[in-house]
Amino acid sequence: MFQTTVELLLQGHTICQVSQPDAYRYLSEQSLFEKVNDYLRLINRKVKVIEDGLAFVACYCTIEEENRTDIRQQLRQVRDIFRPLVNFLDLAMTALVHDCAMRAGDTIRLSELLRGIEHEPTLKQQLALLTNKGIFKTSRNDISEQLNFILKKLDEAGYVQRLETGSTIYQITAKMNYIHELIDFINDSESLKLETQNNHIFDDSQSEMF
């Protein structure tokens, strides 16, 4: 299990209960965690613990010029997915009438999403916009196929995991929590004042009611 765990970390996987249960259990053992960490330290990497042990990822011990390229590559990937994913999560929460954030361990059912979107013209329009550009861009016009495409893309990127082959139920991995973490970071570092924005959203919805 040592080799598998190290390889998964080096390949950039976020190891959590959903995505890699065996490696997750392995790293949850303090002594084995230390063993993996000691090994990675030899190559300027270490295991980063996410949200009190919710997940594990590998990061660099020190950022030098040679690994800046890797970080650039990572950042590019994050940048590509950030906007469409945030918009998709917002859309999914509205469609599923969820007031809880979608986090590791939660499930997304294609059928429920479809049911929530197909009779709502506004949501259908949002989905069409979402699949018109970015990483979710597809030539498919059918809502079910569009949703399937998005979930497939998220599965490939490691944000969700199909429950079993052929299933249309996906389980959210701890990588999704990174998006929430990122929103908090952007909000603070770029002083977006999202809390105030949220009040405006509330005002807007109130005015729509009248």
Q: Which residues bind other proteins (CB under 8 A)?
A: 7, 9-12, 45, 48, 57-60, 63, 67-76, 78-80, 82-83, 86-87, 89-90, 93, 99-101, 103, 132-135, 137-140, 149, 180-187, 189-190, 192, 194-195, 197-198, 200-201
80, 73 contact by CB (below 8 A): no
Instruction: Classify residue 133 by its DSSP letter.
Output: S
- Contact assessment for residue 170 and residue 155, using Cβ atoms and an 8 Å cutoff: yes
Structure tokens at 37: 């960490």
Does residue 7 sit in helix, strand or coil? helix
31 vs 141, beta carbon nearer other proteins: 141
Q: Which is nearer to other proteins, 31 or 99 (CB)?
A: 99
Q: Can you tell me whether residue 16 is helix, strand or coil?
A: strand
Minimum gap (Å) between residue 134 Cβ and other proteins: 6
- Pick between residue 1 and residue 186 the one whose CB is nearest to other proteins: 186
CB of 99 to other proteins, least distance (A): 5
Contact status, residue 184 vs residue 178, Cβ threshold 8 Å = no
Minimum CB distance to other proteins smaller for 1 or for 192: 192
